[in-house]
Chain A
């Protein structure tokens, strides 16, 4: 809707990535990330989803094509969440969330309010003094999300963040993520290989095929936010899930001969 008119935050054109060992991870990728959208990258493992995310984050550079930002500031206005929570085990939850602020030179005292805010956003207010190993997998992931959000980034990159969690925890975190996104207005790029997760969360899904990694289909999920569990039982959800599954199946069929 309105988002479609707004200029993309970041625009990928003809992006390719060939690794030093000759692996062609991606080829000819065109992708616009629109401001405020929840974009899922859905595809079988090995199709280059993480590579796209890493290139957008500036952690890897494309070997072909271009990545253009709407403005220079957005380029570094990022949060990143990995598949495992990637916390520093030697220090407290508080200090883990402090990290992005600390690296930009903020003292503990100056950062304290923002750290507590971020922790309360993910529902972990009482756990600032805990150590990562004292928390469950879901709670660790919440800390990881709090750390990514503490700088209030414009764009949040998430690489299969809930893939290692049980389904109940996952549903809960899905809802929390939607709430956070609505509250903060963050744009999200969300990598997943779960059809249902991507349909439930996204405003748009880019379906990937592999060898070489490329986008074979784009599916708009034009259901309004806020979404809740009722959405899982709606006709639109069923229809879009079928469309996404079909696209994913054809992506997998394309590599069957390999």
Chain B
């Protein structure tokens, strides 16, 4: 009994440390930060103490939460469009090789051109809100497209032979074999794309500046900068980080749930 439970306890202790250690580092850093600001009497418009940032977060919650909501909405709308567009195009690639040969280079060009460089141009043709959405879409699109396309092409060769043996149609092959094979790849792309969509939304909004709708978190940062409201700048930054972390955790959890019973990536190694 003890032979069995001791490693289990050791395992839990290991996992607890994985959480406890970074939390300690984080709290320690906040403590040092707080102490330095207090001891050196640094004014909040130069460096606000963590406590000041927290109180600003609470005091300005109405404004900030509204902006958080706007940023999240843009992020998820862009991600949704990227999923629909990326998966649809990947399926076209898989079904018709010539589509891939015709379009893939352009997807690469879109990917390698920095989004900050595209944003001002988009603002010439589109209104601020749409431009931000398009930027977030552009950065999230490629990882989803390329991962899904890779996944669709990676179906097991023997299974492909088996489908041929049983005279499966192209669409049966796609639905019963290629799409499930691509799921882990797609979810990997989604996790990267989710983070990138948020970054795209922020970058584009900063580039848009006053031309933007002026409601997202990035706009709050720019606006607070002009007004030297440094605590609020930090508070908005905190919200962006938290949003990024939550998006990452959400998609990690989604992968676990969807792949739990079959894929190696979703399993802890035993023994």
Contact = CB atoms under 8 A, between A and B. Distances in A.
B177 A131 contact: no
Interface stretch (A12-20, A76-84, A201-209, A241-249): A76-84
A88 B158 contact: no
Nearest to B181: A90
A133 interface: yes
A80 B167 contact: no
Contacts of A133: 261-262
Which size class do B's interface residues fall under?
20 to 34
B98 interface: no
Given A57-B165, A86-B162, A132 B156 contact: no
Given A80-B162, A132-B262, A133-B262, A88 B177 contact: yes
Nearest to B161: A59
Contact of B168 (A82, A86, A103): A103
A89 B158 contact: no
Interface of A: 54, 57-59, 76, 78, 80, 82, 84, 86, 88-91, 99-100, 102-104, 131-133
Nearest to A95: B176
A54 B165 CA distance: 10
B164 A59 contact: yes
A85 B13 CA distance: 38
B137 to A, nearest CB: 29
Closest CB pairs A-B (n = 10): A86-B158, A89-B262, A103-B166, A90-B180, A82-B158, A90-B262, A103-B168, A131-B261, A100-B166, A59-B161
A3 B175 CA distance: 43
Contacts of B165: 57-59, 78, 80
B227 interface: no
Most chain-B CB neighbours within 10 Å: which of A58, A90, A131? A90
Contact of B159 (A54, A76, A88, A102): A88
B167 A103 contact: yes
Nearest to A54: B161
